[in-house]
């Protein structure tokens, strides 16, 4: 008896016609059935999804600008809490120091930071007599300190909120270096205080 195969659309597999005896059925590997088809289709779909999303993931890094901020304000000024377009650097920068490079959101904004004037702080502490060996002098002669209640003296240094006056732009891929200079900064009243200096 010749073997006749028909296609079963329900299971998408090749089988023998109904009524044929088991001994007449040859062993046929199911290549399109549920047992073989579904797992391979899911695996193939996942492989295609991962392969298609890989360039999208790497392309985000390729379009984001890489930004570095440099403190060029002066030798007596420290800055910290620097932020620009979604990037934040928490390190303290002395004069001439730079942040580590970070990828930021493309766009333009002011560079925001906190400023600490070391020289001004030392003058205030010397006037209050909290720094041993330092005093305010007038032509080499010590200035007499007025009596002050010790409870009114604050030795905690204050970091004041500032921002660059100019708007910095980092529109596309590439490396951007922004310098913070003394004549291009103003107090940032868009964030909570302290305000001063």
d(CA 99, CA 82): 9
pLDDT tens per residue across span 11-53: 444 555 556 555 555 554 444 444 445 556 666 666 676 666 6
Least confident segment among 81-85, 139-143, 151-155: 139-143
Whether the pLDDT of residue 129 is over 60: the answer is yes
Overall size of the chain counted in residues: 197
DSSP-derived secondary structure letter, 33: S
The set of residues, in sequence order, having a beta carbon less than 8 Å from that of 182 and lying 6+ positions away, is 73, 74, 77
Tell me the two tokens of residue 57: 């993931």
Least confident of 31-35, 53-57, 184-188: 31-35
What is the spatial distance between Cα 164 and Cα 79, in angstroms, rounded to a whole number?
12
Query: In this predicted model, what pLDDT tens digit does every residue of 64-122 receive, in sequence order?
Result: 999 999 999 999 999 999 999 999 999 999 999 999 999 999 999 999 999 998 888 77
pLDDT for 32 equals 45
108 strand-pairing partners: 169
Write down the pLDDT at residue 190. 79
Q: How many whole angstroms separate alpha carbon 72 and alpha carbon 115?
A: 12
Distance CA 95, CA 71 (A): 5
Instruction: State phi, psi for 98 to the nearest 5 degrees.
Output: -125, 155
Residue scoring higher pLDDT (96 or 141)? 96
């Amino acid at each position: 008896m010749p073997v006749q195969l028909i296609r079963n659309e329900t299971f998408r597999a090749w089988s023998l016609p109904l009524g044929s005896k088991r001994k007449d059925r040859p062993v046929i590997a199911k290549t399109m059935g549920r047992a073989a088809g579904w797992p391979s289709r899911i695996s193939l779909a996942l492989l295609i999804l991962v392969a298609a999303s890989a360039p999208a993931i790497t392309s985000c890094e390729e379009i984001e600008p890489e930004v570095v901020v440099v403190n060029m304000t002066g030798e007596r000024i420290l800055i910290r809490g620097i932020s620009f377009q979604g990037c934040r650097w928490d390190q303290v920068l002395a004069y001439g120091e730079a942040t580590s490079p970070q990828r930021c959101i493309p766009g333009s904004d002011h560079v925001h930071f906190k400023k600490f004037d070391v020289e001004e702080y030392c003058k205030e502490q010397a006037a209050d007599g909290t720094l041993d060996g330092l005093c305010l002098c007038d032509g080499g002669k010590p200035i007499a300190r007025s009596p002050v209640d010790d409870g009114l003296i604050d030795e905690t240094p204050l970091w004041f909120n500032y921002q660059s006056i100019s708007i910095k732009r980092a529109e596309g891929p590439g490396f951007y270096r922004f310098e913070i200079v003394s004549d291009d900064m103003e107090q940032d009243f868009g964030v909570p205080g302290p305000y001063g200096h």
